[in-house]
Amino acid sequence: MIEKGHYWRNRELRNHVGIIDDTVAPTLLLKDSTYLNIYTKQWLHAHIWIYHDRIVYVGEKLPKNLDNVEVVDCKDKYLVPGYMEPHAHPYQLYNPEELARHAAKTGTTTLVNDNQMWNFLLDKKKAFTLLDEFNTLPISMYWWARFDSQTAIQDEERLYNTRNIMDWLSHPSVAQGGELTSWPRLLDGDDRLLFWIQEAKRQGKPVEGHLPGASEKTLTKMKLLGIAADHESMTGADVIKRLELGYHVGLRNSSIRPDLSKLVEEILAEGLTEFDNLTMTTDGSTPAFYEKGIINVCIEIAIDKGIPIEDAYRMATYNVARHFGLHEQLGSITPGRIAHINILDSKSNPHPTSVLAKGQWILKDGIEQAIPQKIEWEKYGISPISFDWELQISDLQFSVPIGLELVNDVIIKPYAIETDITPDELPDNRDDAFLLLIDRNGEWRVNTTIKGFTKNLGGIASSYSATGDIVIMGKNKHDMLRAWKRMKDIGGGIVVVDKGEVKFELPLQLGGIMFKGNMVELIKNEKELKKLLKDYGYPFEDPIYSILFLSSTHLPYIRITQQGIIDVKKHEVLFPAIMR
C-alpha cells in the first residue's frame, strides 16, 4: 500500500513530466539565460522552466503553455546554483531563521547546521518538530547529529546516548555526524563512539572531524576510523595532506580564522589543479562578519586569488551537495533539482542581483522580497528566561589559586593567581578580573579569575555561552551583581555595567542565547559591544567568541565548565563546581 505522502509526491512528479509534454504549465520561466552547467563546467545558453520549487527543464525549447507563467528575461545575465554553507553554527547571537533569511539575500540558499543548541534547549520530540518547521522556509536547512557536548556537562549521558544519536542520525533533515570534537576519546578506544560513526556511514551520512594541527599519523588513524571531512586546515600544506589522505576539506574564512585567502594562495603555489573535494565555510562567524554576506564573499576571495571561476562556484555548490549525498536535490541547475538559483551581472561577480530559493524570489532586481516569519519560537518554549533564583554577594567568593588567561580570542592557558582576590574590587593596574560560571537554574557555580579579557570593566553578565549557563566577569563585585540583575530583568542577554551604570544591554529573548530581531539591528549592536569592550581593555578581535568558548573543551588548555575548572589535555577536574 502506498502512503498518502507518496501519492502527493507521485502527483508532483507526474506534473513535472506533464510540463515537458505541454499538458501542464510551468510557474516560472527564466528566458534566454546563460547558466553554469556544473557537470561540464561550461557556460551554456538555455531557457529554464520552474514549477513551484523545482527545476523541470533546462534547454533550448520554450514551453507552449504559458498560461499564468511568470516570464523573466535573463539576457546578459549569468545564472549559477544557490550557494551552500556546509558548516554553520546558527546561534552566534543570531537565530537560525534570521541567519537563513540574511544569508539568502546574498545567495546562500542552503545551510548545514550544528544541532548543539537544540540538545541543550529542547527535548528530542520538540527538536524534531522544529526541524520539520524549518523545512517550510524557502531556504534549505539541514543539520548535524552531534556526538559530544564539546564541553564537560553534568548530564552528558542523558543527552549523548546511543538511542538519541541513532534517532538524530535517522532524521531526514540530518546530513552528517559530528563535528567530532571528542576525537581523542575515539583514539583512546571509545567503541560506542566508533559504533555511532559506523552507523552514520551505514546511512550514507559523512562524519566530520575537528582536527586542527593533526599529524599525518593522527589524520590516518581518523580516516581509518571513519572520519570523512575536516575544516581545520591552517596552512595550504594542511589542505593538501588531507586531500592526499582522502578527506573532503573545508577551507575556512571565519571571524576568528579568516584563512581563505592564505589557504588558496598556498594550495595554488603548490600546484593544486583539482578542486572537486574542496568546499568553503564561514564556520559560525559572529554577526558583523556577515554584513556583506556569507558564501558569496568566499567565492569572491577564491576567484580573486586565482581559483578558476567554474571551480570556485562548484566549491560553493555541487561539491557541498555531493559530499552530503544531496546532489540529486541541490547544487546544480538541472531537471529535478530544487530551484535555488542566483542571477549575476557577470561570471566573476558572485554577488547576485536576484535570488530564487525553492522557486521563490528572495531578491529581485536588487530589491529584497518579503519572507514571512515561519518559526513560532514560543511554541517550543524558546522565550525569555524566567529566573526563579537570585545571585547573592556570597556567591562572589574567590579563593582558587589557578585562573584562566586568554592567549588569544579562544586559546586559554592556566596561570597562578598572584593578585589578592578577596576584596570586592580588583585593581586596574592588574589585568585579572573575577570570573563566575553559574548554572542557569542556580544549582551550582564555579569561581575563578580571568586574565586578558578586561583591564578596568566593572562587570559583564551573559546568558550567551556554550551551554546556556551564565557567565559573569568583571573587576567589581557590585557591578557584576548589577549586570546580573539587569540581565535577569530582560530575560537573558548580555549586559555591561561600570561604576554602577548600565553601559550596554542586548536582550537575547530566545532562550537567553539568540536575538529575536533582524540581522541589521544585531550587527549594529554587536559592533557597539565590541567597541565598548575594547575601550575597557579587551585586546583581541572577537569577545563574543571568547565568552562562548570559555567552556569549550575541544580547545587548549584550560576551561571553566559545568563540572568545574578542567585541564583539557589531562581530562582532569582541577577544581570542581560548588553546589549552592
pLDDT digits over 494-551, tens only?
Answer: 999 999 999 999 999 999 999 999 999 999 999 999 999 999 999 999 999 999 999 9
Closest to 209 measured CA to CA, from 230, 186, 232: 230
Rounded to whole angstroms, the Cα distance separating 375 from 396 reads 39
Rounded to whole angstroms, the Cα distance separating 434 from 317 reads 46
Q: What proportion of the chain, given as a percentage, has pLDDT over 90?
A: 96
Neighbour-count burial of 14, counting CB atoms closer than 10 A to its CB (0-12 exposed, 13-18 middle, 19+ buried): exposed
Cβ neighbours of residue 138 under 8 Å, at least 6 residues apart? 104, 109, 357, 358, 360, 362, 371
pLDDT at 7 over 80: no
Residue range 420-472, pLDDT digits in tens: 999 999 999 899 999 999 999 999 999 999 999 999 999 999 999 999 999 99
Residue range 373-396, pLDDT digits in tens: 899 999 999 999 999 999 999 999
pLDDT at 17 over 90: yes
Closest to 137 measured CA to CA, from 307, 380, 319, 360: 360
- Residue 3 is predicted with a pLDDT of 52
DSSP alpha helices (H): ranges in 81-190?
96-105, 116-121, 124-134, 156-159, 162-170, 183-187
- The CA-atom distances, in angstroms, between 506 and each of 94, 168, 481 are 12, 32, 17
Decide: helix, strand or coil at residue 482.
helix
Mean pLDDT of the chain: 96
- Residue 1 is predicted with a pLDDT of 42
Q: 334: how many CB neighbours lie within 10 A of its CB?
A: 18
Measured distance between the N- and C-terminal CA atoms of the chain, rounded to whole angstroms = 59
Find out whether 334 and 35 touch, Cβ atoms under 8 Å. no
Q: What is the DSSP string of 338-381?
A: B--EEEESSTT--S-SEEEETTEEEEETTEEPP------GGGGT
Residue range 120-168, pLDDT digits in tens: 999 999 999 999 999 999 999 999 999 999 999 988 999 999 999 999 9
- Residue 6 is predicted with a pLDDT of 63
- Residue 373 is predicted with a pLDDT of 86
Chain centroid offset of residue 294 CA: 11
Q: What proportion of the chain, given as a percentage, has pLDDT over 70?
A: 99
CA atoms within 13 A on the CB side of 444: 15
Neighbour-count burial of 461, counting CB atoms closer than 10 A to its CB (0-12 exposed, 13-18 middle, 19+ buried): buried
pLDDT at 5 over 90: no
Q: What is the DSSP string of 374-425?
A: ---GGGGT-S-----S---GGG-----SEEEEESSSS-EEEEE--S---SSB
Mean pLDDT confidence for 2-6: 55
Cell of 187: 583514539
What letter represents residue 487's amino acid?
M
Q: 195: how many CB neighbours lie within 10 A of its CB?
A: 13
Rounded to whole angstroms, the Cα distance separating 502 from 483 reads 7
Find out whether 369 and 361 touch, Cβ atoms under 8 Å. yes
Residue range 543-578, pLDDT digits in tens: 999 999 999 999 999 999 999 999 999 999 999 999
Residue range 329-349, pLDDT digits in tens: 999 999 999 999 999 999 999
Residue range 218-260, pLDDT digits in tens: 999 999 999 999 999 999 999 999 999 999 999 999 999 999 9
What letter represents residue 292's amino acid?
K
Mean pLDDT confidence for 37-62: 98
Residue range 103-115, pLDDT digits in tens: 999 999 999 999 9
- Residue 213 is predicted with a pLDDT of 94
Mean pLDDT confidence for 39-56: 98
pLDDT at 2 over 80: no
Rounded to whole angstroms, the Cα distance separating 344 from 451 reads 48
Residue range 79-105, pLDDT digits in tens: 999 999 999 999 999 999 999 999 999
pTM, rounded to two decimals: 0.97
Find out whether 222 and 211 touch, Cβ atoms under 8 Å. yes
